Structure 1
Amino acid sequence: MMVAEALIERADLQKRVEQLRQRIETNARYQEGEEPSEDAATLLRECGDVLVQLRRVVTAINLTNATTTVADGRTLTELLAEREALRARHSVLVAAAAAASGSGHGYRQMRSELRQIAALPVAEVRREADQVARELRVLDVLVQRTNWEAVLVEV
């Protein structure tokens, strides 16, 4: 199995756990004289089984990420950490540019009010955000390609 396939399986298992959690909550109590639509104890056991599968898949993904390297010698784990940092940087830059430009505040300044002045060079911050977005796209392509090429470690 490839890492990308394991990531799809992980997402499916996470959705299944959430669905089971909701069904357990719905059926954990019922009114006297009525029967619950499902047995909460059975659902709880089923959820436990799914969580065991999820743990196995996550462990295999993490071990594979830690041992899989790309051409420049970085591990997949390092690439994922870099991607997370770039996403956070991009988010901060976009928010900073928006705040400095006054967009999103939904108010208009009247002549009698004190002028608002941008504390940041908006165009420069936006250029930096665009550069980070490009780096992020390149890195994301590398991560995706590696996920489809790397064979999952057996656990």
Structure 2
Amino acid sequence: MKLATALSERADLQRRIISLRHRLNNNAKVQEGEQPAENPEELLKELDGCLIRLEELVARINKTNNATKSGELTITDMIAKRDSLKERIGIMRDFLDASSDKVSRYSKTEIKVCSTVNVAELQKELDSWSKKFRETDEKIQELNWLTELI
């Protein structure tokens, strides 16, 4: 099985587990003499199977990510780099939006509000980080489709 297939199955299992949680809660109690819409025991069995499979997949995905390298970096290293870049980009976009907001003045006597940074320069840095993010993400995706799950 390819790593990408395992990742897809993991995402599906995570969605099913969330659904099972809600279904279990919805069938936890019924009025005396009534039957639940779904059998909680069957839902619990299904949940158990999903959790066992998820645990197995996560362990294998993590082993594969730690063992697979592109150059000097493992997939785990690249994921950490991508996540850090994503956070940096989000923060910088918010900051640049706030820095570049124009404040309208109705007269010359009103206080003038100025940006504290060079917005154009920081925008170029943001564009560079965005490019690194895309390249890193593309490399991870490529490896996901080429790598066999351990």
Tell me the SS of whatever aligns to 2:69.
coil
Which of residues 136, 139, 143 is equivalent to 2:140? 143
Distance (Å, rounded) in 2 between the aligned partners of 1:49 and 1:64: 23
Structure 2 partner of 1:98: 97
1:57 correspondence with 2:57: yes
| TM-score where L is the length of structure 1 | 0.89
Which of residues 94, 109, 114 is equivalent to 2:111? 114
4+ aligned runs moved over 3 Å, structure 1: 107-113
1:125 correspondence with 2:126: no
Distance (Å, rounded) in 1 between the aligned partners of 2:75 and 2:9: 19
Deviation of 1:142 (Å): 0.7
Matches within 5 A, 1:34-45: 34-45=34-45
Code of the aligned partner of 1:114: I
Structure 1's unaligned 5+ residue stretches are none
Contact 1:64 1:152 in 2 (8 A): yes
Code of the aligned partner of 2:85: L
Code of the aligned partner of 1:130: D
Code of the aligned partner of 2:124: R
Code of the aligned partner of 1:37: A
Distance (Å, rounded) in 1 between the aligned partners of 2:73 and 2:143: 12
Code of the aligned partner of 2:97: A
Structure 2 partner of 1:4: 4
| TM-score where L is the length of structure 2 | 0.92
Q: Percent of counterpart pairs with the same letter? A: 36
**CA offsets per residue over residues 81-124 of structure 1, 9 Å max, x none?**
11111111111111110011127xxx855436422211121111
Matches within 5 A, 1:61-76: 61-70=61-70, 72-76=71-75
Distance (Å, rounded) in 1 between the aligned partners of 2:51 and 2:73: 31
Code of the aligned partner of 1:152: L
Matches within 5 A, 1:73-84: 73-84=72-83
Code of the aligned partner of 2:98: A
Distance (Å, rounded) in 2 between the aligned partners of 1:27 and 1:110: 62
Contact 1:96 1:125 in 2 (8 A): no
Structure 2 partner of 1:14: 14
RMSD value, Cα? 1.6
